[in-house]
Amino acid sequence: MKIGIIGAMREEIIPLLEIFGKYEEISLGGNIFYCVSYKDSEIYIAYSKIGKVHSALTASSMILYFKCEKIIFSGVAGGLRQDLKVGDLMIATKLCQHDVDISAFGHPLGFIPESKIYIQSDPKLNEIAKSVAKRYEFDLKEGIIASGDQFINNAEKKQWLIEKFNADAVEMEGASVAVVCDLLQVPFCIFRSISDSADGQADVSFDEFLDSSARISANFVKNMVDTLLQQDNL
């Protein structure tokens, strides 16, 4: 099996590279892909750089060039729900692009013609994630994740995301990866460890908790990969 694992920033994949250890570096499209041989499988790890364009390019490269059969996104996000605290891990049930607006033509926010507002993540991969969470007694949250090319750090925008998209967390890449995987029919899941509350203190909280939150997400993804490979060999 070939599995692609993406983070948006270098800090989000360093814990994964440390966990897997030995890897080969492959340059493609202005980026570095780290190839890990692991349990008779190939794992490709990359940080896409911030934003929807870069993450879509990285996901496309993993699928079309490296032939990855599953895509996992591991990183951090701002929490929108009141019950979410820094360090909580969330898996996306579905994702949307909150910065798409062609409402001038009568379309709802987030909608693109010949597409849809929400992209559903893969139920089978989500069930594997839930089984891992149960095994390790980890409180895995579920929710809707909104993506856009904006770092959200004010209470008004936070409330807007909740009201318009019923979003539970916000970040800058997940929905574009979801669109790519959906169109190319590759199963995917999006994990986000909560690093801030997407309010006026978001910039301070984000810097302070980025490393610890990324490590929480990376450790969970490693356990999920082990479970996925074990089930594939049954």
Q: Is residue 180 over pLDDT 60?
A: yes
Instruction: Kindly report the pTM of this predicted structure.
Output: 0.91
Top CATH class, 2-218: alpha beta
**Residue of 12, 88, 173, 199 marked active site:** 12
- Other C-beta atoms closer than 10 Å to the C-beta of 99 total 15
CB 138 within 8 A of CB 219: no
Confidence (pLDDT) at 233: 65
pLDDT tens digits along 158-175: 899 999 999 999 999 999
Q: How confident is the model at residue 11 (pLDDT cuts 50, 70, 90)?
A: confident
Active-site annotation holds for 199: no
Q: Is residue 214 over pLDDT 80?
A: no
Domains of the chain by residue range: 2-218
Active-site annotation holds for 196: yes
**Residue of 40, 196, 211, 226 marked active site:** 196
Average pLDDT over residues 103-109: 93
Closest CA to 188 of 96, 100, 59, 98: 59
Tokens linked to 80: 């929108």
pLDDT tens digits along 78-96: 889 888 888 888 999 999 9
